Structures are given as structure tokens and as C-alpha cells.
Amino acid sequence: MSSFEFTLLTILGCGLVTWLSRVLPFILLKKMTLPKLLVEYLSFVPIVIMSALWVSNLFVQHLGHFPSVDWNNLWASIPTVIAAILTKNLLIIVLVGIVSLAIVQLVLYTG
């Protein structure tokens, strides 16, 4: 088997596994009804994941020392959190975050 065929099969296999891991739960849960307590519990998963990603990006880890604050991300987080509270719209939150970080970096690196 040539390296091209191996790479192509690897990409196709990874794509299939990724697709199945996203579609299979919908197929299985379509025929089942989950308990209300479980559905309520699962509703917090996106909030927890976004919070973990946000907090992990606010700090820069240094080996053997306490982490330091990533000030660019902290300053850009302020309008982003305000947008999240006011709109609760993921698209607007992401756009405000990107624009805020771009403005912070533009001001801090050119000022």
C-alpha cells in the first residue's frame, strides 16, 4: 500500500468515526425518552465546557511557578461576558469576543 493510499484511508476512516460519533447519539436517542432529571443535568454541559475553556485561557502556565494572567484575554473577556449576559446568542458572543481581542491586541501592540 502506498503512502497516498494509507493517508487517504486514514482520512476517510477518521471522517467516518467523527461522523458516526455525532450522528449515532441522535439516532439512538430519537427512539428513547430520557428522564427529565438527566435532560436538566445535560443542559449545563455547554456552560461548563465554555467556562472551562474560558478560564483555562485566562492564565498562562509556567513550570514551577504560579500561573500568570493573560491580560489580553482578560480585557477582551469583559465585553464578551457582557454580550453573553445581554444576548445569550452564541454567534454574537463569539463575534464580540473576536472583535474585542482584536481591538485589545491592536491597542496594546501599536500604542
Contact (CB, 8 A) for 62 and 50: no
- Residue spans of the domains in the chain: they are 1-32, 34-110
Instruction: Determine the Cα–Cα distance for residues 15 and 18; give it in Å rounded to an integer.
Output: 5
pTM above 0.85, yes or no: no
The string of pLDDT tens digits covering residues 33-64 is: 889 999 899 889 988 998 898 888 899 888 88
Question: Region 59-80: what's the mean pLDDT?
Answer: 90
User: Residue 110: which pLDDT band, with cuts at 50, 70 and 90?
Assistant: low
Residues 6+ apart with CB under 8 A from 31: none
Is the confidence at residue 111, as pLDDT, over 80?
A: no
* Length of the chain in terms of residues written: 111
